[in-house]
Amino acid sequence: MLTDSQMLEIAKKYIKLNEEEINIELIIFEQLTMIKSYGNIYSYGPKDSKYRLAGNGPFLVKNDTGLVIQFGTSNDIEYYITGYEDGTWKPSTHGVWDPNQN
């Protein structure tokens, strides 16, 4: 089981990859972190408020594997959490990142 600290480090690595792709500095809004029995859900955005992002929905870092599951942006976060928990929502293949593969 990963600790909160280990999951946050994975989240920061994931954000760094996104940051490099779009060339905008990003931050995790740690005060918005949702702690679940299966992992932590993080929200993020641009460090500089002059930027607006599209597609930067919250993401889950699983505490058993460290896998990152990107949630969508077209619905409320509760939609994705409920669907993830009851198995009715599955991430797309490009919505999963394995920090152990990079």
Using the predicted structure, report yes or no on whether residue 52 has a pLDDT greater than 90: no
Q: Domain count of the chain?
A: 1
- Calculate ∠ Cα 72-5-14, nearest 5°: 40
pLDDT at residue number 35: 98
pLDDT at residue number 102: 60
Q: Domain of 48? A: 4-101
Regarding pTM above 0.75, the answer is yes
pLDDT digits (tens, 9 = 90+) for 28-43: 999 999 999 999 999 9
CB 96 within 8 A of CB 67: yes
Tell me which H or E stretch contains 86.
helix 77-86
Percent of the chain with pLDDT over 70: 98
Measured CA to CA, the distance from residue 91 to residue 26 in angstroms comes to: 22
Give the pLDDT mean for 51-70.
91
Give the pLDDT mean for 54-63.
90
